[in-house]
Amino acid sequence: MTVLVDTSVWSLALRRRSRSLSAEEELVRDELGKLIREGRAQMIGPVRQEVLSGIRNRSQYERLRQDLRAFEDPRLGVEDYEEAALASNHCGAAGVSGSAVDFLICSVALRRNWPVFTMDKDFARYARHLPLRLHQPRPGSGLGARDSGLWTGTGRTGDRGTADRRLLIDDCRSANAEAAVRKAARSAPARRRFRVS
């Protein structure tokens, strides 16, 4: 099942150093890596914009922008925005406020029956008033990259953060390559179509 990943999780995994992560945050980062490898991680345009905002170094921005291209945005329609407004109104009537982007995430998830993976506590408040499902790290997600046999040894000695981030970026690039193959398969003439598993 597809999981809609919120800005808080992407930013934690791609923009924070592992040395500064708590045990809970490491679980979240590792779970995102699993979702990417399984082809289940999804983002929407406003989340992409939030993740890319505030990066001052142009080359870092370009690398991250290219890496995130692995994740195609679902097509959003008028109904998504209307449902977001309805969710905002419903929560507001119960005294719970939130941002337009948060309620758009809720709407997209609700309309597609996707759980939301977030570290933002506001979503737990929304879920008390909306039939929103929140994705939690699965047991065994807490295996760090080194402990799970995925650690590549990149980065400085003792700096697992660089290696972990590099692995996550490699997962994004791999997903990007797989997405390109799927896109080519969809656009190929019928007689030349092939199936991508």
Q: What would the DSSP string read from start to end of 12-49? A: HHHHS-GGG--HHHHHHHHHHHHHHHTT-EE--HHHHH
Under the banding of pLDDT at 50, 70 and 90, the label for residue 22 is confident
Distances (CA, A) of 30 to 81, 160, 179: 31, 13, 22
pLDDT digits (tens, 9 = 90+) for 149-182: 322 233 333 444 445 555 666 666 565 545 544 4
Give CA–CA dist 13/16, Å, rounded.
6
DSSP state of 6: P
Beta-strand (E) ranges in the chain? 3-5, 41-42, 116-117
Neighbours of 97 (CB within 10 A): 12
pLDDT digits (tens, 9 = 90+) for 168-177: 666 665 655 4
Nearest C-alpha neighbor of 76 from the set 113, 40, 105? 105
Predicted TM-score (pTM) of the model is 0.74
Complete domains list, the chain, with CATH: 3-75+113-192 (3.40.50)
pLDDT digits (tens, 9 = 90+) for 66-113: 999 989 999 999 999 999 999 999 999 999 999 999 999 999 999 999
